[in-house]
A and B are shown apart, each in its own frame.
Chain A
Amino acid sequence: MTDRALTPGALPGDDVAELRLRDVAHAHRPINYGGWILWVVTILITVDFLWVIAHNKNFEWSVVAQWFTAESIMRGLSVTLGLTVVAMLIGVVIGLFLAIARLSETKLLVALSSIYIWFFRGTPLLVQLIFWYNLSTLFPVISIGVPFGPELARWNTNDLITPLTAAIAGLALNEAAYMAEIIRGGLLSVDPGQVETTQAFGMTRGRALRRIIIPQAMRSIIPPTGNQLISMIKATSLVSVIAMGDLLYSVQAVYNRTFEVIPLLMVAVLWYLLITSILNVGQSFIERYYARGEKGSSTKARRATDDDVISDAIHMGDAR
């Protein structure tokens, strides 16, 4: 009878000993021998691969170390980072306006935005960069004035277009076209009931976008934008064709003198990897911020039930 008292739920006639053995609270995971073997093999291959690379004389790791933080490389790195940040910021801002224009009820805005996106997504970035750089051959003089009327201001194109401005214009305007589509997709992903609610409360469209719609759209805008940012870091290497001294360009400048091509490319590769790794960490922080108010991964309204508590506990278990 003491047995019965220690086993809650046992009814008369139950095999108490077996019931206790079958209680899932004491269940164990079976030992997964296959999984352990896979781990060992994978680690062995990885270590061997790293060993081979580290001891391959052709990589000339001493040269990599020598140039890794050299002044000219650092200058190139700062150009790459600066270009990425500036072009991305301008691209996001223009992209936001393009997305809003494309979703507006004004047909003219929809058409203008669509044509912009069509053109800048439809032509190679490399070609766009070369065009911007050579703008002066198409338009020697740029002026602002009334169409077909008097001129208000004029500049020599060659004074305006330096490698820097050509690079920023090319990268940012191209990026804007892609960001516009990403942001448009994000805005469309927000429940239409939310838009309707802001209308019913008499919010202006601008305030509704700023306070209600865009914060909710961010959840689906952030991941592809992280992608775009990483692409942008690597796309900046294209500006080396217009004599802009980015990371790749400064590496090339060195190996054109020393002929240590592979180790210097390794310098660039390691820096690109380092930057993208840092960005990945940053992205996951931003994603967590915009996930506030969300429970689990479900986007549908759910009632708070015991099931949720259990599934939350399981997710926490997985995370460990």
Chain B
Amino acid sequence: MTAPIPTKAITAARPLVVARNVHKSFGDNEVLKGIDLDVWPGETVVVLGPSGSGKSTFLRCINHLEAMDRGSIMVGGEQMGYQLRGRRLQKLSSRAIARQRQQIGMVFQQFNLYPHLTVLQNIIEAPIGIHGESRREAEAYALALLQRVGLTEKADAYPRQLSGGQQQRVAIARALAIKPKLMLFDEPTSALDPELVGEVLAAMRDLADQGLTMIVVTHEIGFAKEAADRVVFMDGGHIVEQGKPEDVLVNPAHPRTRAFLGRFI
């Protein structure tokens, strides 16, 4: 039995994520210089780019972990972090922002599992505490998710007893447990030893095939080639180029993209 992953038909009428003119500076350093991006339901969008190109910052703006300076981001028809009241745009309370984030799963570079809780407790924390599920139904779903990522026998282990690849697969199961509309992956394999990268990418490819809407920031060109519906290439705070992986990765139009990809061939 595999856990059902919430899927949406790609024939939706409007994008799930709409980012317009997103600007963000840290002090004098302007990291994002006007990002426009639509992500359609069911799409897997892989964001590539050199270090410092702003791709992680942009990802963190989508669930408002980072507050942006200009522009707007809509997820599922709601503006993240703000609310239009008449013609006045108001900041949302931290409680309202928390409620918006409950629809979005996130997987971090450093896994960020809760070290004092077992694998199973990590996964059911949000479903029980935030989404009000019963313990029985949350545990059943958690075990089904663990089976999907091949870690059923680790349910009662503590995160420190797992390898990095296993921890990241638990983190993916934890994010899926809230039945998200959208999954954000922030360099999920960058902290892993090379021989552990494959198992995490396999779990992610499985999700992409299931039609989950995913935005993946990564350096794994191979994953982009095999699993992405669309590749977005960022450099210097701009989206330089985007399109189908076979176009962007094989015949890049922009010299920056060519230079970046050249390093991986």
Contacts and interface: CB of A to CB of B under 8 A. Distances in A.
Interface of A: 191, 193-194, 196-197, 199-205, 207, 211-212, 215-216, 290, 292-295, 301-304
Interface of B: 63, 65, 94-95, 98-102, 104, 106, 108, 110-112, 114-118, 125-126, 129-130, 158-164, 167, 178, 193
Contacts of B126: 201-203
Contact of A200 (B95, B106, B125): B106
B158 A293 contact: yes
A197 B171 CA distance: 11
14 contacts: A194-B114, A199-B65, A200-B108, A201-B102, A202-B100, A202-B101, A202-B126, A205-B94, A211-B129, A293-B116, A293-B118, A293-B159, A294-B160, A295-B160
B98 A202 contact: yes
Nearest to A300: B160
B94 A292 contact: no
Nearest to B186: A200
Contacts of A200: 63, 65, 101, 104, 106, 108
A295 B161 contact: yes
A199 B108 contact: no
A160 B163 CA distance: 60
Contacts of A201: 101-102, 106, 125-126, 130, 178
Contacts of B100: 202
B129 A196 contact: no
B160 A301 contact: yes
Contacts of B163: 303-304
Contact of B115 (A199, A294, A304): A294
A302 B160 contact: yes
A293 B158 CA distance: 5
Most chain B CB inside 10 Å of its own CB: which residue of A191, A203, A216:
A203
A194 B116 CA distance: 11
A197 B114 CA distance: 9
Nearest to B196: A303
A158 B243 CA distance: 81
- What are the nearest 3 A-B pairs in CB distance? A202-B102, A202-B101, A293-B158
A293 B116 CA distance: 5
Nearest to B131: A202
A193 B130 contact: no
Most chain A CB inside 10 Å of its own CB: which residue of B100, B116, B162:
B116
Contacts of B110: 193, 301
A216 B130 contact: no
A148 B95 CA distance: 35
B109 to A, nearest CB: 9
A153 B159 CA distance: 55
